[in-house]
Amino acid sequence: MPLLEGKKALIFGIANHRSIGWAIAQALAAEGAQLAFSYQERMEKYVRELAAKIPGTSVMECDVQSDEQLDKAFAQAAETFNDEIDILIHSVAFAPPRELENPFIETTREGFHTALDISAYSLVAMAKRAQPLMQAHGGSILTLTYMASERVMPKYNVMAVAKAALECSVRYLAFEMGEHNIRVNAISAGPLNTLAARGVSGFTSFREQMGSAAPLRRNIEQSEVGDAALFLSSHLARAITGEIMFVDAGYNIMGA
């Protein structure tokens, strides 16, 4: 029997075929999950094209900075999935480009607020809306982070602060939602060639450096993050919550 047969997954943050969210969607669908994707208005064409590749996948517009649109998206998901969601994937992150180009000390109040709102608070906002749809039978909430939450990665700047807030939110949500058998975890993936990553100066050189320094002597692929997400979303991970799982070919254990 497929690992996720009969399970229903709502995925936020797919932008194109290189998105980590898309790799996760493919892994979940391959194991029997029914899917629904959200999209930002400017990404609608790309998301609809990807959704069409997985029969039965629903799509809905959602700006995660809007409570009204979040309410509408979860209401649509509830209607699509008969008031039940088993899996919520949060693959959402953004900081204004200037905040990643300028020195960190020049971070603006507006840029700081935007990065934290979209990249961290949105997980809390989604979890709040997912809980009523999960608490009768439990569920899994999964987000994506990066090791810049713990170590300085030049030019990652305020996005690193947002990832630190995101990881702390994972722990608090795991604690509070555990009584409903809802698990909350994060994957800390190595550098991948995504739309968001290409906005970070020096990304290419860092990816090359990681590939030579990681214990496995290579970079990771999107599908490997998808497989880890599949595990964390399935009953095989039923006793795992509040964790940050590294999927980076071991790079995070290295010192010099």
Rounded CA separation 1/3 (Å): 6
**Residue 46 appears among annotated catalytic residues:** no
Q: Which residues of 114-134 are buried (b: 16+ CB within 10 A; e: fewer)?
A: bbbebbbbbbebbbebbbebb
The full DSSP string for the chain is --TTTT-EEEEE---STT-HHHHHHHHHHHTT-EEEEEE-GGGHHHHHHHHTTSTT-EEEE--TT-HHHHHHHHHHHHHHTTT--SEEEE------HHHHHS-GGG--HHHHHHHHIIIIIHHHHHHHHHHHHHTTT-EEEEEEE-GGGTS--TTTHHHHHHHHHHHHHHHHHHHHHGGGTEEEEEEEEPP---TTGGGSTTHHHHHHHHHHHSTTSS---HHHHHHHHHHHHSGGGTT--S-EEEESTTGGG---
8 strand-pairing partners: 34
Which of these is catalytic: 39, 121, 156, 172? 156
Which of these is catalytic: 39, 46, 146, 172? 146
**Catalytic (active-site) positions:** 146, 156
